[in-house]
Structure 1
Amino acid sequence: MSATYTFDVFMSLDGFASIIPEGDWGGYWGKQGPELLDHRLRTYSDGCRVVLGATTFREFAAMLAAADEFPDVLDPWVTAMRQSPTTVVSTTLDEPLDWPDAAIARGDAADVVAALKDESDVPIRSHGSLSMNRALMVAGLVDRVQVTVYPVITGQTGAQPVFAGAADFDLDLLESTLLDGSIHELVYRPRLHTRAD
């Protein structure tokens, strides 16, 4: 049986995964609370394999190296994610990686993830890695899109639009969870939209 693959992403209500350097929101847009942090810890403590693209891996590594500036990066769920077996899809990074139990997989992300889905005995999760996951959605390899929507609009400071340039998809809602009274986690099954002729 094939392992499930979840594209896990945080975003503002207007669809941005991050902010420009001049933005003053802080991690989680300053909206995290105990329910979110506990939920994230459970999610990554239940056993999974993590898949990251090279850009997201570099961003995580830089934040971990500068933990004094980014204290949220030391949240327990991030530690649990970092301790999970991790595959980094890259043609530009070299080993060794400063990440426990991480290995580089060279080649096309779709080929790498298809093989991992066949081999893995635990669910596969990918946090961020926007361009890689958009391509994996088109390839039909993403089983679940888990979007955590924060109660902010970042029209002036938003960066990295989550679905910019993505194909069209129909989404079947699988789960909806309200965390800390204002953060919505939505889990969908994506299906590539086919035009009606």
Structure 2
Amino acid sequence: MTATYTFDVFSTLDGFANHNGDWGGYWGKQGPEFLAHRAAAHRDPFRMVLGAKTYASNAPFLRAGFDRSRFDEWITRMFASPVTVLSRRLTEPLGWPGTTIEAGDPLEVVSRLKAESDVPLRSHGSLTLNRALLNAGLVDTVEVTVFPVLSGKTGVDRVFAGVDDFDLELLEARTFDGHTQVLTYRPARHG
């Protein structure tokens, strides 16, 4: 059995994955329906796959003594899941319990994980890694959460910059709290 791999990413309508402005988390657009959806999507067992940069950005929240009670339920579940970090520069032990480092070629590592894992693989963010995996045909689903904002001045990191051409089969489209779209696609290389 082959495990599925989901590239899960948050985006503005104009395609930015994050910002350097005063928007706050979720660009200030989270609502109870959306947060309940995220918690449900992270309820069943899964393995996170992260690049070194995304791991490093989350590492401060994992140190001893950090108050995790403020996290949304889905983030708590993400931090409790087993994690594979793809990195040639990080070394073990890492502060995130259940985390292993794979220093090999990311395409080979993810191919092996898909063949060996008994739970789905999921990656949140990790843009550079997931662009390469998408281009290599290793991403089974792309789940884009589109927040109703344009961040042309403060937007950072275009979600799909540098990816090849893909046709996207829409598997599911849902609206939460009257304004946030979660779109799930199956990618297929165009042409």
Q: Structure 2 length normalisation: TM-score? A: 0.94
Query: Which residue pairs with 1:188 in the alignment?
Result: 185
d(CA) in 1 for partners of 2:174, 2:66: 29
Query: Which residue pairs with 1:46 in the alignment?
Result: 44
Q: Which amino acid aligns with 2:163?
A: A
Query: Which residue pairs with 2:146 in the alignment?
Result: 149
Runs of 4+ in 1 over 3 A off after TM superposition: 62-68
Report the secondary structure of 1:58's partner residue: helix
Matches within 5 A, 1:12-91: 12-20=12-20, 23-63=21-61, 74-91=71-88
Q: Which amino acid aligns with 2:43?
A: S
Contact 2:62 2:96 in 1 (8 A): no
Query: Which residue pairs with 1:133 in the alignment?
Result: 130
Question: How has the CA–CA distance of structure 1 residues 193 and 67 changed in structure 2, closer, same or farther, with 3 Å as cutoff?
Answer: farther
d(CA) in 2 for partners of 1:67, 1:174: 38
Question: How has the CA–CA distance of structure 1 residues 67 and 185 changed in structure 2, closer, same or farther, with 3 Å as cutoff?
Answer: farther
Give me the CA root mean square deviation: 1.8
Query: Which residue pairs with 2:94 in the alignment?
Result: 97
Once the two structures are superposed, residues 153-189 of structure 1 have per-residue CA deviations (whole angstroms, 9 ceiling, x without a partner) of: 0010000110111111110000111111100000000
d(CA) in 2 for partners of 1:163, 1:71: 33
d(CA) in 1 for partners of 2:61, 2:54: 11
Q: Which amino acid aligns with 1:137?
A: L
Identity %: 57
Report the secondary structure of 1:45's partner residue: coil
Listed as ranges, the gaps of 5+ residues in structure 2 are none
Deviation at 1:107, TM superposition (A): 1.0
Question: How has the CA–CA distance of structure 1 residues 154 and 81 changed in structure 2, closer, same or farther, with 3 Å as cutoff?
Answer: same
Once the two structures are superposed, residues 32-57 of structure 1 have per-residue CA deviations (whole angstroms, 9 ceiling, x without a partner) of: 01111111111112111110000111
d(CA) in 2 for partners of 1:47, 1:96: 23
Deviation at 1:192, TM superposition (A): 1.2
Listed as ranges, the gaps of 5+ residues in structure 1 are none
d(CA) in 1 for partners of 2:62, 2:150: 27
Deviation at 1:146, TM superposition (A): 0.2
Q: Structure 1 length normalisation: TM-score? A: 0.92
d(CA) in 1 for partners of 2:95, 2:32: 29
Report the secondary structure of 1:35's partner residue: helix
Deviation at 1:67, TM superposition (A): 6.5
Report the secondary structure of 2:167's partner residue: strand
Q: Which amino acid aligns with 1:32?
A: Q
Contact 2:62 2:95 in 1 (8 A): no
